[in-house]
Chain A
Amino acid sequence: MEYFAIIVGSIFVSNIVLAQFLGICPFIGVSGKLSTSVGMGGAVLFVMTIATIVTWVAQYYILNPLGLGFMQTIVFILVIASLVQMVEIILKKISPSLFQALGVFLPLITTNCAVLGVAILAIQKDFNLLEGVVYAISNAIGFTLAIVLFAGIREHLDNMDVPKYMRGVPIALVVAGILALSFMGFTGLV
């Protein structure tokens, strides 16, 4: 039941993009086409899950025993940055086809605040390792859901007669607002 609450809570009720405002840059930046947004969602799922595992271990087995809790921000961002580099190199060797699909998105992910945000939130919420992993995966699914829905709407938006100064990002933000409004309907579900 607890895991169910984490899953539904992070995908729908407090969606990482539409309710918590994390990962807005890729949300606006790579949501022009449906196919690229699916690729970005896959890359985020991959990195977010691994990053949460590694930062969780770093927090509980290195920082806490040494009393270095205040170093959290520095350590986490370094871990994530080097992790992304490593994933890139390993993927290139092991699975060139997967690298082809996700490659262009990987460098963008270092500065994706959703990854660092979820890693910190998993610590703040006192999750154990398994809960943290479930939390990371469901947040990544929530991110993918939001960005894919948004990309689908934006593809149609291109054909619409939008007032001159609203074209591009302004109208996209208004659409995101309406999308966020509909996600508010899930409030109180868990």
Chain B
Amino acid sequence: MNQLQNFTKGFIKENPVFVLLLGLCPTLGVTSSAINGLGMGLATTFVLVMSNIVVSLVKSQIPDKVRIPAFIVIIASFVTIVELVMQAYTPALFESLGLFIPLIVVNCIVLGRAEAFASKQSIGSSIIDGLGMGFGFAFALTLLGGVREILGSAAIFGFKIIPGDLMLVFVLAPGAFIALGYLIAIINKLRKA
């Protein structure tokens, strides 16, 4: 597999949210607007790339039996870094993402890539894999956030398209499930068509 395929597989073919159905908690929890989805996606991308790099660097030093706890410590360290940086520089985004920032540590995508990819491949491929998967995740979250924001509050990235609200339910909890259900169905159709 060449590096370009390695990078682009995360967008549609192996999209972590739409196809692999990983990391659904933050996907549903933070996408009440496109900007929140993008912020969460980029924070996860950072953790994904950095943990992929470190896991790939130390893979030969870690005994096989304790590799999962070791990966979790590596991931948790980068999540803590993201947490502190966001708290200092983007306090508004930090407020609205709330609990879901520390929960990046239990996002199956991050541990999944460390275990399935970075622990077996070179640093270069691991960085590209992390970027591809991370951007795929960010793409999915921004798309879902955008759809919910347009349908719910008739705005995109905070800009009002028409005044007033549309179907407010899409900004609330039930709308998250319903919008994601229909998006996955559409992606299914696109992939098989």
A74 and B176 within 8 A (CB)? no
Q: Nearest-CB distance from A123 to chain B (Å)?
A: 11
B189 and A165 within 8 A (CB)? yes
Question: Known contacts being A169-B21, A173-B181, A174-B182, is A78 close to B73, with CB within 8 Å?
Answer: yes
Q: Nearest-CB distance from A28 to chain B (Å)?
A: 7
Q: Nearest-CB distance from B83 to chain A (Å)?
A: 7
Question: Known contacts being A73-B79, A181-B169, A184-B172, is A111 close to B178, with CB within 8 Å?
Answer: no
Q: Nearest-CB distance from A102 to chain B (Å)?
A: 20
Question: Known contacts being A77-B106, A78-B73, A117-B103, is A21 close to B184, with CB within 8 Å?
Answer: no
B177 and A25 within 8 A (CB)? no
Measured CA separation A77–B103 after assembly (Å) = 10
Q: Is B174 an interface residue (CB 8 A)?
A: yes
**Complex interface: stretch among B23-31, B51-59, B151-159:** B23-31
Q: Is B6 an interface residue (CB 8 A)?
A: no
Measured CA separation A15–B14 after assembly (Å) = 31
- Residues in B whose Cβ lies below 8 Å from that of A72: 102
Q: Is B141 an interface residue (CB 8 A)?
A: no
Measured CA separation A20–B107 after assembly (Å) = 16
Which residue of B has the minimal Cβ distance to A27?
B24
Could you give, for residues 81-113 of chain A, a 1 whenever the CB lies within 8 Å of some chain B CB and a 0 otherwise? Answer: 110000000000000000000000000001111
Which residue of B has the minimal Cβ distance to A182?
B174
Q: Is the interface of A mostly helix, strand, loop or mixed?
A: helix
Q: Nearest-CB distance from B116 to chain A (Å)?
A: 14
Q: Is A45 an interface residue (CB 8 A)?
A: no
Q: Nearest-CB distance from B152 to chain A (Å)?
A: 13
Q: Is A180 an interface residue (CB 8 A)?
A: yes
Could you give, for residues 18-45 of chain A, a 1 whenever the CB lies within 8 Å of some chain B CB and a 0 otherwise? Answer: 1111111100100000000000000000
Q: Nearest-CB distance from B101 to chain A (Å)?
A: 9
B188 and A21 within 8 A (CB)? no
Q: Is A120 an interface residue (CB 8 A)?
A: yes
Complex A-B, nearest 5 residue pairs according to Cβ-Cβ distance, in ascending order: A173-B181, A177-B177, A177-B178, A21-B29, A170-B185
Question: Which residues of B approach A to under 8 Å, CB–CB?
Answer: 21-22, 24-26, 28-29, 69, 72-73, 76-77, 79-80, 83-84, 99, 102-103, 105-108, 111, 169, 172-178, 180-182, 184-186, 188-189, 192
Identify 23 residue pairs between A and B in the complex whose beta-carbon atoms are under 8 Å apart, listed by A's number: A20-B29, A21-B173, A25-B24, A28-B21, A72-B102, A74-B76, A77-B72, A78-B72, A78-B73, A82-B69, A113-B103, A165-B189, A169-B21, A171-B181, A173-B180, A173-B181, A174-B178, A174-B181, A177-B177, A177-B178, A178-B178, A184-B172, A184-B174
Given contacts A24-B24, A25-B25, A121-B99, 20 further A-B pairs with CB under 8 A are A21-B29, A21-B173, A70-B83, A73-B80, A74-B80, A78-B69, A111-B106, A112-B106, A113-B25, A113-B107, A116-B105, A120-B99, A163-B185, A170-B182, A170-B185, A171-B181, A173-B177, A173-B184, A174-B178, A177-B176
